[in-house]
Amino acid sequence: MAVKKYKPTTPGRRHRSDLDFSDLTKKKPEKGLTKKISYKAGRNSTGKITVRHRGGRHKRLYRVIDFKRDKKNILAKVASIEYDPNRSAHIALLYYTDGEKRYILAPQKLKLGQDVIAADKAPIKPGNALLLKNIPVGSLIHSIELIPGKGGQLVRSAGVAAILQSKDKTAAIKLPSGEIRQISLRCYATIGEVSNPEVKNIKLGKAGRKRHLGFRPAVRGVAMHPGAHPHGGGEGRSGIGMPSPLSPWGKKTLGKKTRRKRKYSNKLIIKDRRVK
């Protein structure tokens, strides 16, 4: 998928670039596979803001994605490749032979009219989901389960893929972050890389496009007064004035490790993503 550029007819268009959606085959989503999404603008169940700088997003319908791929051994045909405003990747609409319709994440090289299947053993083709124990070593995979039957949780963003490095009692998988992790051979994964890799190359061009995505302006702590932020105050342009950066509530940030030392999954990590 190519990236469209514009002539600089306005300041907002000067550096703007968009994705060329000519590869998509359908504009409106399948009505039975959408549901209303309630947008809270960074607020929790009591109405308090727990995530700052959120709000004012364009309305969206949520597309229900089949991450579990639990329709086993039933052939499905790719009916359309569609845009999804809730994720960076594109999605594919499947028509199953028994009449049911479902959305899945669209991998690269998935073609209109192609047959896909989810089964314990299946052909190694983009879009097919099968057990890790039946996937050849060296394959590119995405939408990987962490717990058998729970559904794909890892590697779901646009343009990414994991590599199945080895299989013994468990599968060793190299994730896009560089982390190498053990995962049960009874977990499902989907063959191929996730679609829409060019999304990382688009430039929004103006602040308004960021607002449409639901992001509000963020103010630097050093620009505030000392009562509003630990970095605030001072004469003229001044640094943070302390050994380590702090959050607005005085907690260490920007490099402070937040992962629990005794987290249950630490023993499953063969190589940490931070280790070069």
C-beta separation of 34 from 62 below 8 A: yes
| Cα–Cα distance, 246 to 97 (Å, whole number) | 57
CA 79 to chain centre: 23
| Cα–Cα distance, 116 to 127 (Å, whole number) | 6
**DSSP assignment string, 225-258:** -TTT-TT---SSS----SSS-B-TTS-B-SS---
Domain with CATH 4.10.950.10 in the chain: 222-276
**pTM score, two decimals?**
0.88
The CATH superfamily of 3-200 is Nucleic acid-binding proteins (2.40.50.140)
Count, in order, helices (H) and strands (E) of the chain: 2, 17
Q: Which burial class, exposed, middle or buried, applies to 269 when counting CB atoms under 10 A from its CB (0-12, 13-18, 19+)?
A: middle
What's the token pair of residue 227?
A: 């009562």
- Residue 244: predicted pLDDT: 87
Domain with CATH 2.40.50.140 in the chain: 3-200
- Residue 20: predicted pLDDT: 87
What CATH class does 222-276 carry?
Answer: few secondary structures
Question: What is the chain's alpha carbon radius of gyration, rounded to the nearest angstrom?
Answer: 22
pLDDT > 90 fraction of the chain, expressed in percent and rounded: 83
Q: For the segment 3-37, what is each residue's pLDDT rounded down to a tens digit?
A: 899 999 999 999 999 998 888 888 899 999 999 98
| Cα–Cα distance, 145 to 74 (Å, whole number) | 20
| Cα–Cα distance, 1 to 83 (Å, whole number) | 13
